[in-house]
């Protein structure tokens, strides 16, 4: 097998610290809680964890509003807890990625406190300040995410507006100022020196705004509107960040949250192998449960990433979107989707709890806390069957997902037929299959409603069939080849593993087939 960096073959578990596990009984997850549950992740077989923000923060955006990039919020613990977590994870062979939020800070960050204090403050230019429009009002028509009002907030003291693509509590940094670039590089060095293996980089494609700050038609709120950014400048900043990472020993990785719904555009942020190592590709996350739609998404990756040598990524769920179990509407589909996620060519990201088949929590109006409407997918992980499911407080910060007792890690791990065991089998299979880890992917033609592809290296060949139909199908041949002699290595429904494939797929069933030796 050719030498390759660890992250190419990795399965990364995204952990949302507030909701993963609580060690001190305040109803909010923390770093020590994560450390105490590394057993589960090791048992599952993940290669790495990515921690959503745990930095000092007033929590207007639950940690994506950072008040100090180089410290742990007391709610989550201490730097010593972080060091202990990294040491323990590394000892188990699990890499640790953290979330880096370079586009903005909290309005409580000392940089912004200085910046807003006067027009003469040395930090004034670290953020994006503008005079009101000639007739008064915000300098342009840009809209902030979540609040969907102007992306500019007037600061009464100094009479100027500051830009925030997200909440008013999240002022955007001015990446055209070299001092900001240097200060943010220092935050990377701080964590690299502490031993992190890489970063997930928040809204990385948007860190430099277009120089004219001109109106855009419609003033669209969505982060997908990339007309507000200055791509050449972003690429230049990314090359510097890449050089910084590459200067460290070991393969430190960058995974960009390039929130643009065009795979071709996402591809440009890999640069010429000198920008991001990996970038999230979100169109599959938004794909409905339809074979044809998935086929198109895969073709896009083949056409738009592969020729550039840009290594793909796959993700079905995260802390910003309804869980795929909820979106697809059944456990059978969530299981089949797991087979898809873990057999496509690229680095895979698993969001905490998807291996338990969790649905979104149902959050009553009086418990809604997120201004962006994303509470459902952030429900706490139920660890034990008995309430309070391994948590201690009277009330967790958000309600548990439905069926917390029967979906608890304890219950699922004890049941070999559970979706949790399916994930574990898939991860183990992937780990010992060069074809799944690094092999070519060739789309095949199967019956209507069935997605079929082959993964291969010169020495190994496996085929994946995913039945997206609510009915059983019979697969006589795929691209003219009969796979009747093949063996079922893994079935999402857990049926007939090890047996010869008889050509039938249950509704919403996915299988990995191996040629019969």
Query: What residues make contact with ligand NOJ under the rule CB under 6 A?
Result: 61, 64, 101, 166, 202-203, 257, 319-320
Partner in contact with 172, chosen from Ca ion, ligand NOJ, none, beta carbon below 5 to 8 Å by kind: none
Distance CA 348, CA 341 (A): 7
Q: Which is nearer to ligand NOJ, 13 or 512 (CB)?
A: 13
Partner in contact with 360, chosen from ligand NOJ, Ca ion, none, beta carbon below 5 to 8 Å by kind: none
Interaction between residue 398 and Ca ion (CB under 5 A): no
Buried b / exposed e over 15-32, threshold 16 CB at 10 Å, is: bbbbbbbbbeeebbbbbb
Asked if 317 and 284 touch (Cβ cutoff 8 Å), the reply is: no
Residue 307 neighbours by CB under 8 Å, 6+ apart = none
Asked if 350 and 12 touch (Cβ cutoff 8 Å), the reply is: yes
Distance CA 202, CA 509 (A): 35
Q: Catalytic: which of 30, 65, 202, 275?
A: 202
Which uninterrupted H or E stretch holds 193? helix 178-193
Site size with Ca ion, rule: CB under 5 A: 5
Q: Which residue has the tokens 């690299």?
A: 192
Which uninterrupted H or E stretch holds 324? helix 324-328
Q: Which is nearer to ligand NOJ, 278 or 419 (CB)?
A: 278
Partner in contact with 28, chosen from ligand NOJ, Ca ion, none, beta carbon below 5 to 8 Å by kind: Ca ion
Torsion of CA 511, 353, 427, 386, to 10 degrees: -100
Q: Which residue has the tokens 């709890």?
A: 353
Interaction between residue 22 and Ca ion (CB under 5 A): yes
Residue 11 neighbours by CB under 8 Å, 6+ apart = 45, 46, 47, 48, 342, 347, 348, 349, 350, 427, 430
Q: Which is nearer to ligand NOJ, 202 or 375 (CB)?
A: 202
Q: Report, in Å, the least distance between residue 285 CB and ligand NOJ.
A: 12
Task: Name the token pair of 477.
Answer: 């041949």
Q: Report, in Å, the least distance between residue 19 CB and Ca ion.
A: 11
Distance CA 347, CA 438 (A): 10
Q: Which is nearer to ligand NOJ, 200 or 242 (CB)?
A: 200
Interaction between residue 215 and Ca ion (CB under 5 A): no
Partner in contact with 30, chosen from Ca ion, ligand NOJ, none, beta carbon below 5 to 8 Å by kind: Ca ion
Distance CA 373, CA 355 (A): 23
Helices (H), 194-320: 231-246, 263-268, 291-304
Interaction between residue 99 and Ca ion (CB under 5 A): no
Q: Catalytic: which of 257, 304, 454, 514?
A: 257
For helices 331-343 and 419-431, the axis angle rounded to 10 degrees is 10
Q: Which is nearer to Ca ion, 26 or 497 (CB)?
A: 26
Which of these ranges, 24-32, 52-60, 79-87, 466-474, lies near Ca ion under the rule CB under 5 A?
A: 24-32
Question: Closest residue (Cβ) to Ca ion?
Answer: 30
Interaction between residue 59 and Ca ion (CB under 5 A): no
Q: Is 152 helix (H, G, I), strand (E, B) or coil?
A: strand
Which of these ranges, 15-23, 85-93, 152-160, 206-214, lies near Ca ion under the rule CB under 5 A?
A: 15-23
Interaction between residue 355 and Ca ion (CB under 5 A): no
Residue 257 designated active-site? yes
Q: Report, in Å, the least distance between residue 371 CB and Ca ion.
A: 22
Interaction between residue 422 and Ca ion (CB under 5 A): no
Residue 454 designated active-site? no
Interaction between residue 24 and Ca ion (CB under 5 A): yes
Closest to 127 (Cα-Cα) out of 156, 97, 155: 155
Q: Which is nearer to Ca ion, 73 or 304 (CB)?
A: 73
Q: Which is nearer to ligand NOJ, 100 or 126 (CB)?
A: 100
Q: Which is nearer to Ca ion, 26 or 125 (CB)?
A: 26
Task: Work out the end-to-end distance of the chain between its first and last CA atoms, rounded to an integer number of angstroms.
Answer: 21
Q: Which residue has the tokens 């915000």?
A: 138
Which of these ranges, 28-36, 59-67, 257-265, 285-293, lies near Ca ion under the rule CB under 5 A?
A: 28-36
Q: Which residue has the tokens 């909010």?
A: 28
Interaction between residue 32 and Ca ion (CB under 5 A): no
Partner in contact with 22, chosen from Ca ion, ligand NOJ, none, beta carbon below 5 to 8 Å by kind: Ca ion
Which of these ranges, 9-17, 27-35, 66-74, 500-508, lies near Ca ion under the rule CB under 5 A?
A: 27-35
Name which position in 6, 8, 26, 370 contacts Ca ion (CB under 5 A).
26
Q: Report, in Å, the least distance between residue 7 CB and ligand NOJ.
A: 19
Asked if 239 and 271 touch (Cβ cutoff 8 Å), the reply is: yes
Asked if 325 and 419 touch (Cβ cutoff 8 Å), the reply is: no
Name which position in 30, 47, 197, 509 contacts Ca ion (CB under 5 A).
30
Which residues here bind Ca ion, judged by CB under 5 A? 22, 24, 26, 28, 30
Catalytic center residues? 202, 257
């Amino acid at each position: 097998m050719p030498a390759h960096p660890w992250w190419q073959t990795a399965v990364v578990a995204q952990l949302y610290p507030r909701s993963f596990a609580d060690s001190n009984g305040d109803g909010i997850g923390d770093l020590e809680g994560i450390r105490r549950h590394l057993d589960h992740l090791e048992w599952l077989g993940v290669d790495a964890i990515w921690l959503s923000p745990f930095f000092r923060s007033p929590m207007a955006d639950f940690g994506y509003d950072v008040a100090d990039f180089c410290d742990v919020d007391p709610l989550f613990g201490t730097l010593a807890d972080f060091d202990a977590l990294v040491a323990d994870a590394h000892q188990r062979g699990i890499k640790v990625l953290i979330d880096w939020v370079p586009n903005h800070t909290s309005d409580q960050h000392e940089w912004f406190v200085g910046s807003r204090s006067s027009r003469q403050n040395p930090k004034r230019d670290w953020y994006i300040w503008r005079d009101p429009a000639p007739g008064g009002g915000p300098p342009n028509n840009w809209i902030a995410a979540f609040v969907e009002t102007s992306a500019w907030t007037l600061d009464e003291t100094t009479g100027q507006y500051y830009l925030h693509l997200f909440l008013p509590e999240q002022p955007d940094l001015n990446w055209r100022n070299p001092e900001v670039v240097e200060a943010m590089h220092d935050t990377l060095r701080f964590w690299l020196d502490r031993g992190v293996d890489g970063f997930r980089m928040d809204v990385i494609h948007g860190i430099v705004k277009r120089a004219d700050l001109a109106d855009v038609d419609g003033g669209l709120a969505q982060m997908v509107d990339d007309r507000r950014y200055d791509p050449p400048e972003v690429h230049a900043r990314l090359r510097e960040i890449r050089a910084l990472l590459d200067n460290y020993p070991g393969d430190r990785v960058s995974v960009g949250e390039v929130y643009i719904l065009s795979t071709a555009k996402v591809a440009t942020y890999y640069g010429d192998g000198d920008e991001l190592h990996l970038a999230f590709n979100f169109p599959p996350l938004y794909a409905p449960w339809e074979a044809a739609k998935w086929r198109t998404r895969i073709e896009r990756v083949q056409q738009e990433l592969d020729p550039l040598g840009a290594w793909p990524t796959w993700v079905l769920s995260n802390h910003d979107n309804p869980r795929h179990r909820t979106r697809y509407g059944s456990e059978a589909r969530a299981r089949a989707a797991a087979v898809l996620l873990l057999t496509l060519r690229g680095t895979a990201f698993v969001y905490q709890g998807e291996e338990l088949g969790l649905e979104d929590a149902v959050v009553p109006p009086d418990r809604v806390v997120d201004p962006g409407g994303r509470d459902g997918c952030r429900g706490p992980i139920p660890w034990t069957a008995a309430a309070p499911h391994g948590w201690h407080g009277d009330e967790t910060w958000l309600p548990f997902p439905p069926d917390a007792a029967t979906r608890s890690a304890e219950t699922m791990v004890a049941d070999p037929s559970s979706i949790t065991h399916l994930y574990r089998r898939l991860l183990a299979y992937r780990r010992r299959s060069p074809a799944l880890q690094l092999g070519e992917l060739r789309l095949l033609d199967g019956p209507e409603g069935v997605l079929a592809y082959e993964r291969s290296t010169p020495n190994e060949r496996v085929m994946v069939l995913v039945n997206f139909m609510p009915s059983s199908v019979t697969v006589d041949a795929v691209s003219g080849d009969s796979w009747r002699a093949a063996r079922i290595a893994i079935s999402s429904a857990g049926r007939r593993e090890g047996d010869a494939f008889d050509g039938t797929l249950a509704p919403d069933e996915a299988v990995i087939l191996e040629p019969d030796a």
